[in-house]
Amino acid sequence: MVNRKIVKFIGYGFGDMASSMFWKVFSYYLPFFYSNIFGLSLKDAGIILLVTRVWDAVSDPMMGILADRTQTRWGKYRPYLLFVAPLFSIAGILLFTTPDWSYGAKLIWAYATYILMMTVYTGINVPYGAMLGVMTDDSNEKTVYSSFRMFFAYGGSFLALFLWEPLTNALGGYASAQGWFWAMVVIAATCFVLFICCFLLTREELKTVSTVSIGSDFKSLLSNKPWWLLIGAALCFNLFCTVRGATVAYYFADIIPAGATLNFQFSTLNFQLLFYAGLFLAVGEVSNMIGVAACVPLAARFGKKTTFIGVNLGLCILSVLFFFIPVSPTGFWLMLAAQILISILTGVMSPLVWSMYADVSDYAEQRFKTASTGLIFSSSSMAQKFGGAIGGSAALWLLAAYGYITDPGTLAASDFAGQPADALLCLRCLMSFIPAAVSILAALVVARYPLTTARMREIDSQLQIQRAQ
């Protein structure tokens, strides 16, 4: 007989597998799509990323409050997986639809479809994240759930990123709007099935009821010091990931030579592998999975706070070293090695952050006597989206400020000599020094985080008594 708990772990993982397939395509390829396929300027694309994700971030607490007060026979949060899943897939397809309209009309379409997509994403992802707080009352088991979640998330991201360019080429061409549209149709259909599986295989085990007003929930949230610190640290982490991720497509388009290969020769074994953005990102997703597997033993050995700080110091060092890697056949291998190590560390971080949010939720329930799990978990999604908004927009605006060229006519001209030197330097800094600075800031913020392993043991004991009353 299949272990029921393992089934629930896997089922919960399916949910973020679906979310991450969309999120990584948005984070890594949407800026490039808007500027080089859809036909928007870097300035307008950057504004769209900022405005839509800020709206999305602001809407997260509203969704959290709504989910906290939902009562159905399936639970508080789980029903949203069933009913929002089809809207999620449809919105993704519309986002990658390129109408043959004037520039102004296309700009309005881009705003409308991206706002729709992010609203629907909030409608399914906030309740999904909040489920972690009601599937078990064991802090260590929450870390296991979180690890399964991130393991499957990175697995989905790997498939989406590794297959994205081959899919677009097979379904119309990487340089054509048709190829991007049909590739998203494939991804969207897959995500719909995964969300339904998540709904069917999971259960909410804890029955929590918010007995205070919405105003009291917000008041307790704003008085929650661990929440503030974790929000700041999570925002920095997502800023780190988004800045690097949004830069990769441009980095490979303009710094890595076309047709670059990874050459492997050992004894009689000799092969070449095309070194392209999708491979670089997909290898990162596999490496993330290694980090996810390492999260539970590392957190158990050193504690969540110490692990968080150590990982960010490692990210800083590796990011700085990336700047000095030469663009050469040997350098390509070094870039891939750096990507593997950085991705292992970010893989450790992802479930760690979600598990720490679950601890913050328990802290709030114990101290403020409020079951605001959805509101607290929505704040994590809010930090993710603010980080994505700031990171993605800033990357595009910096490239524009340093003269990066996106005009198709200029790029296709026979006498095009390449991007300006300042734009190329900006690309290199976006992959190195800028993420390094953000990771140091995250470590400094978490140094003041008070929910240590010992403190959480006390809170768990007090909550067991409190919930039994």
Alpha helices in 303-370 (DSSP H): 304-323, 329-368
Q: Return d(Cα 374, Cα 67) in angstroms, integer.
A: 6
pLDDT of residue 408 exceeding 80: no
Question: What pLDDT was estimated at residue 411?
Answer: 62
Phi, psi (degrees; rounded to nearest 5) at 76: -90, -40
Give 379's contacts (C-beta < 8 A, 6+ positions apart). 60, 61, 64, 221, 227, 231, 357
More confident position, 123 or 380: 123
Tens digits of residue pLDDT in 149-194:
878 988 888 888 888 988 999 999 888 999 999 999 999 999 999 9
Q: Which domains does the chain have, with CATH numbers?
A: 4-405+415-468 (1.20.1250.20)
* Contact present, 118 and 56 (Cβ < 8 Å): yes
Coil/strand/helix, residue 265: strand
Tens digits of residue pLDDT in 433-457:
999 999 999 999 999 998 888 888 8
pLDDT of residue 407 exceeding 80: no
Q: Can you give the pTM of this predicted structure? A: 0.73
Mean pLDDT within 233-250: 89
> How many CB atoms within 10 Å of residue 4?
10
Angle at 52 between CA 46 and CA 53, to 5 degrees: 90
DSSP string, 195-228: HHHHHHH----------S-HHHHHHHHHT-HHHH
Which residues on adjacent β-strands are paired with residue 266? 269
Question: What pLDDT was estimated at residue 32?
Answer: 86
Give 413's contacts (C-beta < 8 A, 6+ positions apart). none
In the chain, % of residues over pLDDT 90: 40
Tens digits of residue pLDDT in 273-293:
889 888 898 899 889 889 988
Question: What pLDDT was estimated at residue 1?
Answer: 45
Question: What pLDDT was estimated at residue 393?
Answer: 84
